[in-house]
Amino acid sequence: MDRLGEMTGFREEQIKEACSIAMTAHKSPEKPYLLEKSRTSSDVFFSFPGSWSVSNWFTRQPFGEIKIDRSELMSPKGNDNVATSLRSIGRDELATVNEGFLRRLEMILSNSSLQSEVEKANTERKQIVFTGHSSGGAIAILATVWFLEQYKSRMSPLCVTFGSPLVADFIFNHALRRENWSQYFLHFVMRYDIVPRILLAPLSSMEPELQQILYLLNQKAMFPIQGYIAEASKFFETVMRNASAVASHAACKLMGNTNPILETVASFIELSPYRPSGTFVFYTGNGKLVVIRNADAILQLLFYSSQLCSENELEAIAEKSLNNHFDYQSALQESLNMQNVVNLDHLEGLPLSSNGAAAENVATNMALNDLGLSTRARLCLRAAGEQEKQKLSNQQRMDKKKADIEAGLAMLEDYKMKSALCKVGYYDAFKISKDEDDFKANVKRLELTGIWDEIVEMLNRYELPEGFESRKDWVELATKYRRIVEPLDIANYHRHAKNEDTGPYMYKGRPRRYKYTQRWREHALRMPVGSSGESCFWAEVEELQLYRTTNPGAFEDIRERILNLEKKLQEWIRDKQISNDVFLEGSTFTKWWISLPHQHKSISCIQGLMNS
Amino acid sequence: METETSCQNNFEMSEMLATFLGSTPLLEEAWRLCSIANTKFPGAYLVEQIGSVAYVAFSGRQRDSGSDQSSRNLVPLDAENAGLFAPLYRHSEAEEPIKVHNRMLKLFLSIFPRLQIQIAALMGKVKSIVITGQSIGGTIASLSALWLLCHLQSMSSPISTVLCITFGSPLLGNEALRRSIIRERWGGNFCHVVSKHDIMPRLLFAKIVNHVSKIQTLLNFWHWCMVSPHVIVTGLSSQLPDDLKDAIFHCVLKDLELLTQAEEPLSGSLFRPFGSYVFCCEEGAICVENAASVVKMMYLMLATGSPSCSIEDHLMYGDYVAKVSKQVLKARNFHEEGLPDSSYEAGVALALQSSELIDKEPVKDLCFSRQNSNLRKEVAIMAKDCLQMAQNDHKPNLTAANLAIKLSKIVPFRAEIEWYKTCCDEADDQMGYYDSFKLKGGSRREARVNLNRHKLAGFWNSVILMLENNKLPHDFDRRAKWVNASQFYKLLVEPLDIADYYRTGMHRKHGHYIDHGRERRYEIFDKWWRDRSVPDEENKRSKFASLTQDSCFWARVEEAREWLDNVRSESDVTKRHLLWHKIDMFEKYARKLIENKEVSKDVLAKNSSFSRWMEEWKELKS
């Protein structure tokens, strides 16, 4: 049997210490955080107390969530205009997080010594561990992400939470996985603990009860308390019913639902945007631990592991759902003694029925039984596994097409070289398109378009592995593609005068395959947003030229734009991102530049380049 | 071509979908209001607002028109109904007309004036509307929802969604109705809850002409029961004579059996289900969309029932709905031995268990005469097939992605035609590609262009077919990629279609192109282009468009040529005047296009049909 430590990459001592400090933080709610240095290792623990007022959990109806850019915390420090990592890159969809928890972290950072202590620990090369129990765990998660985004330290921080509510949506998880940060997060959840499930229900469905329950939990944090069965049952039912809606909606999608009624009905109800991220460890309740990383599967587990076996169980389970929230320390001790840990990795092959599992699956099957997973629950886990597998196979399929892309680009390079010999450059040759070579280049362009559009389609539906958009080989290939082929798209656009019926290329006509891949490069190199626009050079030239033809006298209006373009062109030529063929005699650019006022040309920064 | 989709890892999800529905408060709320409407609002409906959702619940007790001889009659849904359903039938001129149940339509129309006012009052107050009803009330709810969907389409309304939930309601219309609902992408707005044995939603599958009076008795019985909703239902049907129950039950069962054996949906005036059906049983529920599967399920479930329960089940929706939503919280395992290991097979086994169609020992009290264990086995097998059929339907996003790949493979053919146009534009004969293609149809280069033309037409026709069969994502025709690609295709290739039409003399056989020869795909692409979300900005063109913006321009030239020929030979002064006027109008139109540079330069080529026509016209005028 594997040990928890080996399976998660966290040391057991570390987890135990984190748990103890996380629970201690509740005892001094007036302190924004507790700092504790490990006596046996270089670990420095930062632990956050929970908060028990509804307004700290839900700042608004229905789920109290906001887009990540509504706070300054999550953008890289010092780099102006570099986009946050907490988004999907190509599609550029921002992560959504719980506002209450985020604002609380903001407040802690501005009103306490947290930042300076963290920086100190970082410079001392300490292993930073953020931890927390209950909503303190949520703060710990956000603090960890804040640190990862702000500090490029050699040592990544760790995050261990116990019974933490969910804090963010699926894009947050997508980003964590893409950045390879997922591995730093470890979340413990008791089988029946209600708290990690609360944010799956909208505030409107449980507002009065929630205040009561949080009050009760706050009391419990201090001393055990009995009673409140009726409230607990109602609360449990509400949360679970909503969790069921979220889980079954997600499961339908995982299973490839096609019935349009799913989305119609979904639009009538409030479905929680919150999704798990990081590694989860479920306590089965009898000393065993189940480790799981697939976020879709975790969502299903959050629901199914709390299902009732029979209706008469409701009151007992509802009571447990509150008591469980304070069982982490003892349960951890028990399970570390037992060391019965199961890793749920190959989800697509999970045994379906509770008794008949093959020999190699016996341990897994027992763990699933201990979590009370029915056949239906197991099918959902399988569906989550299949989806992950499908993403990998999509990626493989695209990897196989790399050779086709390379070959196509080589052919277009060749076209570019040949065109330069005719003193026009391939941009203008393609724009005129009067030779068979131009026609062939167009066909090649269209073939490549097909491949890249397929990638874009898959990215839009999140059907590629999360890491795809930051893979070095693909970012490089995409940049190469963009630099060679986008000028042809721009030429084609203006050849068909689409700028006149559709609007300027940059605003109306630029295909997503170029927008997405430009963002890939900017993200990979942490460049400011929009700074890798070398492939759009011709679009700006066309716009400026159009302006000159329609307003012949007006130079001052576009002076800034011209100066800017010249400056950038100089850099792009220097860095070999744009080749010299733009200066050829017959090129649109040359003709346009020559038409500029003499006074401007004589002092232009590209004067030397033009004349050489 | 490599396979783009992998199908081996399917899941059966009819049950998961029902679980999702059961997790929401929608079914319970809808039923609660239906039951109030049944007791307190006979012959009418009730409106209630819950949060940002309005509920309209029609009573299951509706006034009787008395003319029940025509109860099963279908009447066409057309302009006669004050155009209330115009979007439904506008595209279907050539097909079988859309028909609905006569009496239901009359009931709806009698309620409509008041309903319209009340719905108008809800606008601005609510985001969405649930329209619901039990029994006949549900069928009227369906018609109301259809009207509302038609109505909302024509206006920009704050109400974004309409959901119709019916409980044990009779069928509404024919196959054409089902098709046009799918075409409008409204299938997902209808949720029909049907309890396991309820005979009411199955009634109109049967030829019930011989049983009209019996059915009237049955309806009256049901109405009487609905007055007091809390009555204990089991055994209630003993108040009806056995021969009546048997006659209706066996009549419906027999005709349903015939229907399920038919390969194709039978044409003619037959009722067909549309939307999704949620079948509720003691053990659970499943949600099925495919119409053939729905019919089969209806049959299979009824076949395991009895005359008495088929009548009592119509009154049990409260229990079923409560059960479905209660079950959500409970872990339900597979009770039998031998669960298959394949995810799909296991899912089917679970769905069968939920729908109680699994092959197991017959329950004692079933009094189905031909009953034996063989039948149960057969039922299980058929039910499996039936779920499979529903499954094989489609995966819209995957289909769309694969279609994008196909598009990129077909696009080089278009590029070749584009190249052909460029060559013609530059050629010495100065005819432009329209006239070149029309004149030299047989030569080698033109033959190749012609081949490409056919390939592209085949591709785009297949796209439309898929879209209309609901195989593509619902917003497909609004995705810029497809709108732009189809527009480009239309502008480039339709002139060649026109050239071909007039070269082969089709206009003499069938009439002019625009009215008689234009392929439907172009009209659809016109609509896509018109409906695209980009507002048309007035941009002045600095040079001639690369493609003439009116893809029918050449067809108009051909018509104008005919007028010009006729005007010379016409002796009747009024007719001559009329022709003259038409020609004049065309010239004005063409001049405007040219002035705005909306024509491509091939139109103005020295030897193009248009240039030659202009010269002749000028000559005639002078």
Please name the residue of chain B whose CA is at the shortest distance from the CA of residue A445.
B412
DSSP class of residue A578?
S
Interface test with A, best of B333, B487, B532, B602 (most A CBs within 10 A): B333
Residue B195: strand pairing partners: B280
3-state secondary structure of A606: coil
Residue in A121, A125, A123, A174 with CA at minimum distance from that of residue A143: A121
End-to-end CA distance of chain B: 62
Running DSSP on this structure, what letter comes out for residue B196?
S
Burial (CB count <10 Å: 0-12, 13-18, 19+), residue B484: middle
For position B401, what pLDDT does the model report? 74
Enclosing H/E stretch for B134: strand B128-134
CB atoms B334 and A375 under 8 Å? yes
CB contact under 8 A, B334 and A204: no
- Mean pLDDT, residues A535-557: 89
Task: Map tokens 């430009």 to a residue.
Answer: A518
What are the beta bridge partners of residue B49? B54
According to the model, what pLDDT value does residue B339 have? 83
Mean per-residue pLDDT for A376-392? 94
Q: How far apart, in Å, do the first and last CA atoms of chain A sit?
A: 72
Q: Does A270 touch chain B (CB under 8 A)?
A: no
**Contact residues on chain B for A261, CB-CB shorter than 8 A:** 17, 21, 187-191, 275-276, 287, 289
Buried b (16+ CB within 10 A) or exposed e, A152-168: ebeebbbbbbbbbbbbb
B156 inside 8 A of chain A by CB: no
Q: Would you tell me which residues 421-450 of chain B have a C-beta closer than 8 angstroms to some C-beta of chain A? A: 422, 426
DSSP secondary structure of A88-105: -TTT-PBPEEEHHHHHHH
Q: pLDDT below 70 — which residues of chain B?
A: 1-9, 64-72, 79, 90-95, 156-159, 229-230, 263-269, 358-379, 389-397, 470, 474, 533-539
Task: Identify which of B17, B329, B333 has the shortest CB distance to residue A259.
Answer: B17
Longest dimension (CA), chain A: 91
The larger pLDDT score, comparing residue A566 to residue A609, is at A566
Q: Distance (Å, rounded) from C-alpha B471 to C-alpha B482?
A: 15
A457 and B CB contact within 8 Å: yes
Could you give the CA distance from residue B275 to residue B193 in angstroms, rounded to a whole number?
A: 11
Q: What is the mean pLDDT of residues A141-152?
A: 92
- Whether the CB of B19 is below 8 Å from some CB of chain A: the reply is yes
- Tell me what ipTM this predicted complex has: 0.92
CA angle A76, A80, A86 (to 5 degrees): 35
The burial class, CB within 10 Å (0-12 / 13-18 / 19+), for B428 is: exposed
pLDDT value of residue B147: 93
Q: Looking at chain A, which residue has its C-alpha nearest residue B27?
A: A265
Q: Which residues in chain B are closer than 8 Å to A254, comparing Cβ atoms?
A: 11
Classify the C-alpha dihedral A68-A73-A74-A79 as positive or negative. Answer: positive
Q: Which three-class secondary structure string do you get for B227-293?
A: HCCCCCCCCHHHHCCHHHHHHHHHHHHHHHHHHHHCCCCCCCCCCECCCEEEEECCCCEEEECCHHH
**A507 close to B (CB below 8 A):** no
Q: In which residue are the tokens 């010269």 written?
A: B615
**Chain-chain contact of B331 with A352 (C-beta, under 8 angstroms):** no
CB proximity B49 to A under 8 Å:
no
Is residue B405 within 8 angstroms of chain A, CB to CB? yes
Q: Which residues contact B423 (CB under 8 A, 6 or more apart)?
A: none
Beta strands in B23-148 (DSSP E): 45-50, 53-58, 74-76, 99-101, 128-134
Give the residue from A233, A244, A261 with the most B CB atoms within 10 Å of its CB, the best one to mutate: A261
Q: Which A positions 203-262 lie with beta carbon below 8 A of chain B?
A: 204, 237, 240-242, 244-245, 248-249, 251-252, 254-262
CB atoms within 10 A of CB A361: 15
State how far the Cα of B40 lies from the Cα of B61, in Å rounded to an integer. 10
Chain B (588-617) residues lying within 8 Å, Cβ to Cβ, of chain A: none
What are the backbone dihedrals phi and psi of residue A81, each rounded to the nearest 5 degrees, phi first? 70, 15
Extract the tokens encoding B611: 């240039």
Catalytically annotated residues of A: 134, 193, 325
**Confidence at residue B369, expressed as pLDDT on a 0 to 100 scale:** 40
Classified as helix, coil or strand, A102 is helix
CA distance B480 to B350: 42
Q: Which amino acid, one-letter code, is at A372?
A: G
Closest of A100, A105, A40, A102 to residue A68, by C-alpha: A102
Indicate the residue of B20, B191, B415 with minimum beta-carbon distance to A252: B20
- Nearest Cα residue to B434 out of B519, B487, B498, B488: B498
Look at A21-25, A291-295, B214-218, B609-613 and tell me which has the smallest mean pLDDT: B214-218
Q: Over 80: is that where the pLDDT of A599 sits?
A: yes
H/E stretch holding B128 reads strand B128-134
Q: What is the pLDDT of residue B224?
A: 87
- Coil, helix or strand for B473? coil
With helix as H, strand as E and coil as C, how does A206-223 read? CHHHHHHHHHHHHHHHHC
Q: Which residues pair with B45 in a beta bridge?
A: B58
CA–CA dist A439, B420 (Å, integer): 10
Please judge whether B334 and A353 are an interchain contact, meaning their C-beta atoms are less than 8 angstroms apart: yes
* Stretch 25-54 of chain A: residues touching chain B, C-beta under 8 Å: none
How do residues A149-197 score in pLDDT, each as one tens digit? 988 767 899 999 999 999 999 999 999 999 999 999 999 999 999 999 9
Side chain identity at residue B301, one-letter code: M
Q: Omega of the bond prior to A157 within 30 degrees of 0, cis?
A: no
Residue from A428, A419, A488, A445 nearest B414 by CA: A445
Residue B220 and residue A189: Cα distance in Å, rounded? 57
For residue B19, the chain A residue with the least C-alpha distance is A248
Closest approach of chain B CAs to the CA of A233, in angstroms?
12
B339 near A CB under 8 A: yes
Written as one letter, the residue type at B84 is L
Mean pLDDT of A527-541: 94
CA distance B24 to chain A (A): 6
pTM for the full model? 0.90
Q: What is the pLDDT of residue B366?
A: 45
Distance, CA of B502 to CA of B510 (rounded, Å): 11
B345 contact A CB<8A: no
| Residue B439 near residue B431, CB atoms below 8 Å | yes
- What gap in Å lies between CA B421 and CA A401, rounded to an integer? 32
Given an 8 Å threshold on Cβ–Cβ distance, is B163 in contact with A356? no
The two beta strands, B99-101 and B74-76, are antiparallel
Chain A residues touching residue B51 (CB < 8 angstroms)? 204
CA angle A386/A390/A394 to nearest 5° reads: 175
- Token readout for B289 is 């969309």
Phi, psi (5° rounding) for residue A279? Answer: -95, 135
Token pair in block for residue A141: 């998660």
pLDDT averaged over chain A?
A: 91
- Which residues of chain B from 359 to 388 reach within 8 Å of chain A, CB to CB? none
CB A254 within 8 A of CB A343: no
Asked if A495's CB is within 8 angstroms of B17's CB, the reply is no
Q: Check if A358 contacts B (Cβ < 8 Å).
A: no
Range with lowest mean pLDDT among A254-258, A438-442, A446-450, A467-471: A254-258
Report the distance separating Cα B529 and Cα B506, nearest Å: 28
Output the CA–CA distances (angstroms, integers) from residue A7 to A152, A304, A344, A368, B551, in the order listed. 26, 23, 11, 18, 65
Q: Which residues have CB under 8 Å from A263's CB, separation 6+?
A: B188
Quote the crossing angle between the two packed helices A436-460 and A375-400, to the nearest 10°.
160
- Say if A307 is an interface residue toward chain B (CB within 8 Å): yes
What span, in angstroms and rounded, lies between the C-alpha atoms of A544 and A529? 22
Tell if the CB–CB gap between A269 and B51 is shorter than 8 Å: no
